[in-house]
Each structure stands twice: as C-alpha cells, then as structure tokens.
Chain A
C-alpha cells in the first residue's frame, strides 16, 4: 500500500512539479530525553509515554518533509513523509492527497479531497507531519488519531463564509482502516507524538501478545481493508471572529467486527465509532483549546465471543501566543472500559496527564522546546506482568527542531 501510494504520488507530481508551484518544508527533530520509568508502549510495554524504561539519551528522533504542489489554481497535491526512530526505524508516508477547491465569488465554497489524509479531528495538530506547534507530545486523543486513524477515500466540504462567522460541513467516505481501535482496546491511550505512516506496523503490548499466545513482538498494520465496507465521517464547524471555533465530528469505520485480514497472521477488524467535540478560543494572547472524544470499538471474532471497549478522553490546553516564547499547559484525562462486565479479567484504565511545554523560536528556522510530561494512570493489564496497576511517570525532553 505504502509503495503504491508513493509511486502514485510520484507519477502525479513528477511531470507537473517543474511547471507548477512546488512548496517543500520540513524539519529535523533531535532531543535530549530523560525517560519515564515504565517501559514505553513503543517497545512493547504498557507505559503511556514515547520514551520509557528509565535512563536518558540524546538522539534525533524524527524528521519530516511536507511537499505541496499547486497543479492548477484549484487543484493542490500534498504529501507528508516522515522518518522516526522510536520502537522501529522507518520512513513512512503519513498522508497524500489531492484537493480540488474552485474559487467562489459568493459566500459559498466547496471542495473535495481525494487520497489518504487525517480526518479533521484535531485542533492542535496543524503543523507538518501531525505535530503540534504547542507541545512535543500530542494529547491522548490526537496521539491515538496519529497512530491508528487515517482516512483513505474522498472528503467533501461545504463552507458558508459570513461577515461574522463561517459555518462548514464535511462528509467523507473512507476505507482501509478496519483494525483502527485495536490499540485502544489492547493497550489503551498514550501521550505521545509517535505517528504511524501508511504501511506502518504498530506494536501490541507484550503482555497482550503473551496473554493471547502470540509471538513477541506482535505488530499489526492498522491501515487494512478487511471487509469491503466503506466507513464514513460527518462533521460541522462554526468559527466566529473574535469568539472562537467549535467543531463536532461523528466517525464510524463501519468495520464488520467478525471480519479479519487474509494470511497466516490475520488482523481482526474493529468496529470503531466515536464522537469528537472540539473548541478553540482566544483571550488576548492566550489561546485555549479543548477537545473531548467518546466512542467504542468492538470485535466479534467468533460466534461465541465478542467484546466492546468504550473509550473516552479529553484535554484542555492553554498556550501563550506572543513573540518568540510560547509556553503551553495541557491537561489530559482518559479512560477505557472493556465490556461486557462478565468477561474474566476485563481490561480497564483511567488516567490523567499534565504537559508543560516552553517553546522558544529565536530564529525562523529553529524551535527549541523544553517539555515535562507527567502521567498518572491505572490499568489493570499491568498486573499480567506482575506490576502494580497504578503508575506515576514523568518524561522530560529538550527538543531542538530545525525547520526549513
């Protein structure tokens, strides 16, 4: 899939790049990290942070390139390529899409997007490669979206642009995301900036693999089409000048919970649906972001067994948007709950996280970020590894991002 999309993007872009407008930006991100105590989920643990297992190191953790080509005034192509080196070294295509948006000289404007793209869930991750200008680590909600959610299909948007506010609606038909939700059920939430690309194989917790008599490490590709069904999302947003913005999204991958991929190591389909509500406002130089998500993911791999995991998460972020210094504070809360309650050893978790980041941009090509992340979580799955269910972990990072 990854190769196919990359080739398709090259075929589309290469002949036109010389004649059309090409815009390339990217970054290299190197960090000094004091790891959290618990082994990271990226290495098969149940830790909530990207870096875990104690110790510290200095490394270049990721890089990304975003290329946009204006093919015609109404048609733009965009692709984000990322390299990251946590848990697995890989280059991956995060998204690749074409957007057709004809100009409108009326308040109404429509557009269509085709390809692979992130659903319009996040208010915080509007920078290259699903990163946030506010913090290094994304919120629990958007860490999950970056890791396991990608829309491959078509999205249509209709906007009405008034003098005081803009109202827009979006609808998409998507496919190839049937395993989405498995990580929330098998591992739970994370607070991280580890983003999956098309074709990436994310890692299950070793405790989950052992409990299910699977080899360690156990990985799977979350971007698979198992049942031929189309998923969808629909949303609406309202943005008022001087007031803020609010957006609501309903997502359903419509996966058949009884289906699975073909092959020797089949990947199950998880029927995942959720509501997401986000809001943004600004008071003077302080930007406020908030988002809440509530949904469920279900499998029914046999006529005799089915299970559903309800998941909820929310965050509030306050950032000071002025000058070269940009501090931000975010509070996350999250939970999962496996159902039915009759399941022996059903997995549950709940937790909170506090992220404090101080960004400094002394030059337009340089961003330095110091970030402290503290996560308090309770997850009874830890008891499978003989660990206490309750954890308190702190991860400290000093990041230097060279942007071009």
Chain B
C-alpha cells in the first residue's frame, strides 16, 4: 500500500484532471482574477491537419496596440494598422523577426511573414511604452485565453498532453508553467495560476504623464 502510493498519486494527478475530447484551460493570476492573453500550447497527440497561412491584423488605437498578444503559426503574416491620428513607428529587434515601419494615420504596413518560431515583442519608437507580443508557435494545438481567462480546445484526439502557458507578464527567464493531462473523451478543466508582473502598458486615459 505504502509502496504503491506515489504511483497512485501520480496517476490521479494526471487521470483525474481529464479524460476528454474538450479541454478548458483556465488561467488566472495570483489573486485568482482571469488572466487574458495567455498563450496555451498543447504538446503531444496527433497534430490537427495543417491550415493555410493566414494574415492577422494588429491595430493601433489610442496609442495602444490591439490586441496585446496575438498567436501565429510559422508562415502566417501580420499587418499593422494605424487607427490613430498620430504617426506610429512599429519595430521589433526580436531574434525571431526584426522589422520597422513608419505608419501614417489611417495607414497600414505590408504583410510581414513570420517564418520562425518565437516570441516577437513589438514597440513603437515614437511612443515608447506601446507594446504588443506576436507569439509564433508550431505546437500541435495552441490558443489564447480570453477575457475570462479561458482557452478551450475542442476535438482533441485521445492522448497525453503537456500543457504549457506563456504570458507577457511572466517573469522573464523563468520556464513556462507546465502540467500534464490525459485526454480520453469527455470535457475537463485544467487550471493555471500565474504570478504575473504588473501590466507595463500605460493607461491611455492618463494624460498627466509624459508620452514621449
């Protein structure tokens, strides 16, 4: 009995979480509040059929990139749009992709192909505190948590998955939080509680502080 406990405990840790074709990953911060913009990736199982490359748009409104985080597959494209009345100068020096574009009000950039896996932080050289993150992943399954902190995966093949979570406000240099789950035909929930750092984005309604 005593000898078997660790094995049983380990089995329970995996098997009681889920045996499901649908996995609802709930991401919260240390206070238990929903954590939006977490990228949840599942590793293991049969990969879904590859989809055609898509083009996603990152808007700039009220000197804020929208969305804060966007998920891409290698080969996808990104277009930056400027919905502000001021110019923006988007750029990145990330190893996965470096670029820079000046965008006039109402304008947008040519499509940029994101061909390498990795996280690409994008800023504006004029408004230095603007930031967005492009997350390029080749994981078989990947999704971004919504405003309620949910990332839902449907139609998962039965398998054991390693579930990893990335968020731009995780402390840099730390390994991505990870849990294992066995999926075998029902609905299950997996919960991640992340110790997130403060949101680095300025309050766009704060007109007192300097912007340049």
Q: Report how far A66 CA is from B205 CA in the complex, Å.
A: 16
Is A367 interfacial (CB 8 A cutoff)? yes
Give chain A interface residues in 97-156, CB to chain B under 8 Å: 99, 101-107, 126-128, 131, 133
In the complex, the answer to whether B173 meets A163 with C-beta atoms within 8 Å is yes
> What is the number of residues of chain A that contact chain B, defined by CB distance less than 8 Å?
38
> What is the number of residues of chain B that contact chain A, defined by CB distance less than 8 Å?
27
Give every chain A residue within 8 A of B126 (Cβ-Cβ).
70, 73, 76
**Given known contacts A68-B212, A104-B93, A242 and B125 CB-to-CB distance under 8 angstroms:** no
Q: How many A-B residue pairs have CB under 8 A?
A: 80
In the complex, the answer to whether B212 meets A367 with C-beta atoms within 8 Å is no
Q: Report how far A73 CA is from B91 CA in the complex, Å.
A: 12
Q: Smallest CB–CB gap between B35 and chain A, Å?
A: 15
Q: Smallest CB–CB gap between A168 and chain B, Å?
A: 12
Is A214 interfacial (CB 8 A cutoff)? no
**Given known contacts A70-B126, A163-B172, A242-B172, A105 and B100 CB-to-CB distance under 8 angstroms:** yes
Q: Smallest CB–CB gap between A13 and chain B, Å?
A: 14
Q: For chain B, what secondary structure do more than half of its interface residues adopt (helix, strand, loop), or is it mixed?
A: loop
Give every chain A residue within 8 A of B98 (Cβ-Cβ).
105-106
Chain A, residues 64-105, CB within 8 Å of chain B (1/0): the string is 001010100110101000000000000000000001011111
**Given known contacts A73-B126, A282-B198, A364-B206, A103 and B173 CB-to-CB distance under 8 angstroms:** no
Q: Report how far A68 CA is from B92 CA in the complex, Å.
A: 24
Give every chain B residue within 8 A of A282 (Cβ-Cβ).
198
**Given known contacts A76-B212, A127-B210, A103 and B172 CB-to-CB distance under 8 angstroms:** no
Q: Report how far A21 CA is from B63 CA in the complex, Å.
A: 13
Q: Smallest CB–CB gap between B195 and chain A, Å?
A: 9
Q: Report how far A133 CA is from B210 CA in the complex, Å.
A: 11
In the complex, the answer to whether B102 meets A241 with C-beta atoms within 8 Å is no
Give every chain A residue within 8 A of B154 (Cβ-Cβ).
none
Q: Smallest CB–CB gap between A371 and chain B, Å?
A: 16
Give every chain A residue within 8 A of B209 (Cβ-Cβ).
126-128, 133
Is B43 interfacial (CB 8 A cutoff)? no
Q: Report how far A254 CA is from B210 CA in the complex, Å.
A: 30
With CB as the reference atom, state the residue of chain A lying closest to B121: A163
Give every chain B residue within 8 A of A127 (Cβ-Cβ).
208-210
Give every chain B residue within 8 A of A242 (Cβ-Cβ).
171-172, 197
In the complex, the answer to whether A128 meets B210 with C-beta atoms within 8 Å is yes
Give every chain B residue within 8 A of A367 (Cβ-Cβ).
208
Give every chain B residue within 8 A of A346 (Cβ-Cβ).
none
In the complex, the answer to whether A21 meets B91 with C-beta atoms within 8 Å is no
Give every chain A residue within 8 A of B210 (Cβ-Cβ).
66, 126-128
Give every chain A residue within 8 A of B92 (Cβ-Cβ).
105
In the complex, the answer to whether A364 meets B171 with C-beta atoms within 8 Å is no
Tell which of A73, A99, A104 touches B212, judged by Cβ atoms closer than 8 Å: A99
Interface of B with A (CB < 8 Å)?
Answer: 85-87, 89, 91-93, 98-100, 102, 125-126, 171-173, 197-198, 200, 205-212
The 3 closest A-B pairs by CB, nearest first: A364-B205, A21-B86, A105-B98
Interface of A with B (CB < 8 Å)?
Answer: 21, 23, 25, 27, 66, 68, 70, 73-74, 76, 78, 99, 101-107, 126-128, 131, 133, 161, 163-164, 241-242, 282, 285, 321, 364-365, 367, 401, 403-404
